[in-house]
Chains A and B, each alone.
Chain A
Amino acid sequence: DIQMTQSPSSLSASVGDRVTIACRASQSISSYLNWYQQKPGKAPKLLIYAASTLQSGVPSRFSGSGSGTDFTLTISSLQPEDFATYYCQQSHSIPFTFGPGTKVDIK
């Protein structure tokens, strides 16, 4: 199985801050990397697929980059509704696997 790791596991930030979350795969997954946002009591929401393609309706302050084993999710200017947990997930091979998550909370 492909193992996914994320860093940091949590971070505190203020509205307007630039936030960066890293994700690493245990082997090359090309660009088969997705990012999800999850709020308490809700299902995950797809934000970015194929490493850098924004899902329809997702604000442009979200961006993704990377390929191979190292990926990044960036929120250019954190908004109040962005406080949530973010997960990366590889869709390169079965079984699909998720990272452990990064919780973004209010400083």
Chain B
Amino acid sequence: QVQLQESGPGLVTPSQTLSLTCIVSGGSITSDGSYWSWIRQSPGKGLEWIGHTYYGGSAYDNPSLQSRVSISLDTSKNLLSLNLRSVTAADTAIYYCAKNYCTGGSCYSGDFDSWGPGTLVTVSS
């Protein structure tokens, strides 16, 4: 299993952009079949899948976030990034990066078996 570690500011001002990175170690973000997701957890909305991307492909995000999301990979640094624009207090949450489960040459895009420890982001002025 790869190891994931999120980082970014713990406090973001309303209407600004939340930017997080996730360093991946123990494996390459370019691995075939690997999907890299962002997931958040808040007391009010529980666990919410934000979106995912994969090497050489497109990113997909949750329509509930109204096109405010950008997810990308940096192959030179082996990391993934999240930008969430126009944040409000409702975006306050613990943000996790996660990788899908792969076994025996098969990968399952929506099964998350590697997670970072999470980073708390508070949106407040």
Q: A98-B48, A100-B46 are in contact. Are A91 and B108 (CB under 8 A)?
A: yes
Q: Does A46 contact B (CB under 8 A)?
A: yes
Let me know if A89 and B47 touch, CB within 8 A.
yes
B118 nearest CB neighbor, chain A only: A43
Q: What interface size band does chain A fall in? A: 20 to 34
Distance between Cα atoms of A104 and B49 in the complex (Å): 23
Our pick among B62, B98, B110, B116 for the contact of A91 (Cβ within 8 Å) is B110
Q: What interface size band does chain B fall in? A: 20 to 34
Let me know if B117 and A42 touch, CB within 8 A.
yes
Q: A89-B47, A95-B64 are in contact. Are A55 and B110 (CB under 8 A)?
A: no
Let me know if A43 and B111 touch, CB within 8 A.
no
B103 nearest CB neighbor, chain A only: A56
Q: Does A101 contact B (CB under 8 A)?
A: yes
* Contact residues in A for B48 (Cβ distance below 8 Å): 98
The SS class assigned to the B binding surface is strand
* Contact residues in A for B111 (Cβ distance below 8 Å): 34, 46, 49-50, 91
Q: A49-B101, A96-B49, A98-B47 are in contact. Are A43 and B116 (CB under 8 A)?
A: yes
* Contact residues in B for A42 (Cβ distance below 8 Å): 117
Distance between Cα atoms of A87 and B96 in the complex (Å): 16
- For the complex formed, measure the closest distance between the CB of B121 and the CB atoms of chain A, giving whole angstroms: 15
B112 nearest CB neighbor, chain A only: A46
Q: A34-B111, A91-B109 are in contact. Are A44 and B49 (CB under 8 A)?
A: no
Greatest chain B CB density within 10 A among A1, A45, A89, A100 is at A89
Q: A42-B117, A43-B118, A95-B64 are in contact. Are A101 and B109 (CB under 8 A)?
A: no
The interface of chain B, by Cβ under 8 A from chain A, is: 46-49, 60, 62-64, 96, 98, 101, 108-113, 115-118
The interface of chain A, by Cβ under 8 A from chain B, is: 1, 32, 34, 36, 42-46, 49-50, 55, 87, 89-92, 94-101
Can you list 26 pairs linking A and B with CB atoms under 8 Å apart? A43-B98, A43-B115, A43-B117, A43-B118, A44-B47, A44-B115, A45-B115, A46-B101, A46-B113, A49-B113, A87-B46, A89-B110, A89-B112, A91-B110, A91-B111, A92-B110, A94-B60, A94-B62, A94-B110, A95-B62, A95-B63, A96-B49, A96-B110, A98-B46, A98-B47, A100-B46
